[in-house]
Each structure stands twice: as C-alpha cells, then as structure tokens.
A and B are shown apart, each in its own frame.
Chain A
C-alpha cells in the first residue's frame, strides 16, 4: 500500500488567506545565503522523495545523558558522561 495516497479523515479547513500569509511570511524572512548554499541538496532531497529513496539519517551520537527524565524510554540504556559509551568521533565519520 502506498501511504502517500491514503485518504484522510480531516476535520479542519485551512483558510486560503492563512496559506498566503504563511508563505509570504516565510519568503520575507528567508535566509537567502543559506537557501542558495543548500539549494542543490534541497533539489536532490525533493527528487529522492519523489522516487522513494532515502533522504535523512538519524544517528545516536551518544548513550550518555546529563538528565534522567522519568518518561524517557531509553532510560534503562543511558550512561553517565564519566562512564562514556566507547564511541568516537572517528566512528561517526565512518558512519556519516
């Protein structure tokens, strides 16, 4: 099944002027230099999305955390900074 074409059950309508206003606001506040710098990759991203290919990678850079939030689902696996996780910047370079 292609999740892209799934019919949705929607309740709320977006006013046309809200879309126009949002777009104008985005354009007015656009960081032109960053946009120009990333344009080739943004175009590549769009193309890869359309043809169904991978676009983004998330990487767990560490298991260490300086908080212990009670709801964190990774809580049993977290380590302290002093203990570390044996991972290095070179490992990251190889992955990336």
Chain B
C-alpha cells in the first residue's frame, strides 16, 4: 500500500516496536528492496522473550529513536518503572560505543521541562543526538498541569533556543522548528486541513486503517488538539519546504557517522 502511495521512508511506532523482531525485519526487508531506510521508535526496555535482540545493530537500514523522559529518577518516575533509566542508558552507551547513529526523543511536558539540559549533558561525548517535541493534548483541551502551551510554551521555547545555541548539533531540533512550535505560530500553520502532516505523511493503525488527521490520532477515539499541537514532524516538513539549512540537517540526522567511543574510559573520566 505504501509503495503505491509513493512513500519514501517509514517510521515504525507502537506500542513498543522492538517487541516483535519479525515485524521490524519485514519493514527492513521491504525498505532494502527500495534502497531506502526506516526509523523505529523504542523505549529500549528489552523483551524477556527475546533478550538478545539489539535493534541498533539488527538492521543496516534501520535507525533507532529512543524515548527518554529525563535522566535517572526522572525517567523512572515518569514511566513508573524503577531502574528503567539505567537499562536505557547502558543500551544507548553500548550502541554509541559500537559507532551507531542514535537519536533520543523527549516529549516535553510540565514535569520534565527542566530535564532537557541534563539529557544533553549526559549524552555529551557519546555522539548521541537528542530531539524533543511538546506533548499534544489528545481528546481534551490542554491540561495546564501537564501540557506546555500558550505563554508557558513561549517561555520554554526561548529557553530551549538558548540551549540550542549552547549545545549546537547535539540538540537535534532547528531554531526554525522551535519557532514553528510556538502556540501562536501553530495556530497559523496547523489544523486538520492545513497541517503538512496531512499532506506529506500517512499513518496507519495495527488494523491497517488510516489515521486522520495524523499519527497522533487513532480512529474516532483519539483526536489531537491541533491548536495546541507540539509535534515536531510538521515543523520538519515546513522547515524543509522553506529550504532552511538547519532543519534539513536536523531531518537527516541518521546520515551522521556514529562516534566510536570507549564507554568504559568515558565512565572512568566521569568519576574522576
């Protein structure tokens, strides 16, 4: 179906994508036939039934986007699983040490707004890039105890912009993408009809049903609040269409070489 639509590349989402190696293998095989690539979004918690599966090295045309909510306790508390961050970090560092190109993604909400710089700091020197987006309200108006919207998002974006100037490439989101994510700008380009995701992306459920308007939706049950959208996917499209060089660099993050690093030496240095 995707081939008929002329789709260039694929993003595997879930659920947890790495629970089913055979399904990812099917995507990898089909993409390889077309000389293209795919991304898979994962929480990096291993499947007890398939503990040896390493999504970083399993596919030569597959690239992992790891979900990270914060560092250490912040990640564990956010995901209600003690020790989860240690597992995620050790897998990330092992893959980085093997020279894999890795992107982490953080969905920013009120509870982890202060975690962006700690994440960047933790992955510094490991060649791990980090991106972010804002949590989008689904099926409801924004919950001000959780969602970063309105003036709060304006202030957050100003702070993230300063982080971008400080951390450069390691924060894999372009300044234009940040500007586009401001609530007042979202209301100019967004909406279920205007959003570039509707034109340039197709999303399907596990039943093979097309989601409308975008990946954040799910049939009639899940409806995103477009006026408060925090998704970075449409901002990638808009930045690319404006020929913004920093957005193009951001979009092609997987074309960067990984940096083979001695993770043990890095850990020792960190403890000195």
Contacts and interface: CB of A to CB of B under 8 A. Distances in A.
Contacts of B139: 73
Interface in A1-40: 1, 3-4, 6-12, 14-15, 18-19, 21-23, 25-26, 29-31, 34-35, 37-38, 40
B265 interface: no
A41 B8 contact: yes
A56 B8 contact: yes
A44 B8 CA distance: 7
B1 interface: yes
Interface residues of A, number: 71
Contact of B35 (A30, A37, A73): A37
Q: Interface centre among A12, A54, A58, by most B CB within 10 Å?
A: A58
A69 B20 contact: no
Interface in B6-27: 6-17, 19-20, 22-27
Contacts of A10: 179
Nearest to A91: B208
B12 A56 contact: no
A65 B206 CA distance: 13
Contact of B201 (A37, A55, A73, A85): A55
A22 B12 contact: no
B11 to A, nearest CB: 4
Interface in B176-204: 178-180, 182, 184-185, 188-190, 194-196, 199-204
Interface in B21-46: 22-27, 29-31, 34-37, 43, 45
B245 A12 contact: no
A92 B204 contact: no
A79 B26 CA distance: 22
Contact of B14 (A35, A49, A62): A62
B19 A81 contact: yes
Contact of B168 (A25, A89, A95): A25
A67 B35 CA distance: 33
Contact of A57 (B43, B135, B202): B202
A85 B35 CA distance: 30
Contact of A96 (B2, B35, B188, B205): B2
A11 B157 CA distance: 10
Interface stretch (B89-97, B114-122, B252-260): B252-260
B26 A11 contact: no
Nearest to B200: A55
B153 interface: no
A18 B165 contact: yes
Nearest to A56: B201
B49 interface: yes
Interface of A: 1, 3-4, 6-12, 14-15, 18-19, 21-23, 25-26, 29-31, 34-35, 37-38, 40-42, 44-46, 48-50, 52-71, 73-74, 77-78, 81, 85, 87-96
Given A60-B205, A69-B80, 16 more contacts: A3-B188, A4-B242, A12-B161, A18-B168, A41-B34, A48-B6, A52-B200, A55-B200, A58-B203, A60-B13, A61-B12, A61-B14, A64-B14, A65-B14, A65-B19, A89-B22
13 contacts: A14-B246, A19-B245, A25-B169, A30-B256, A56-B7, A57-B10, A60-B205, A66-B43, A66-B45, A71-B109, A81-B49, A89-B25, A96-B31
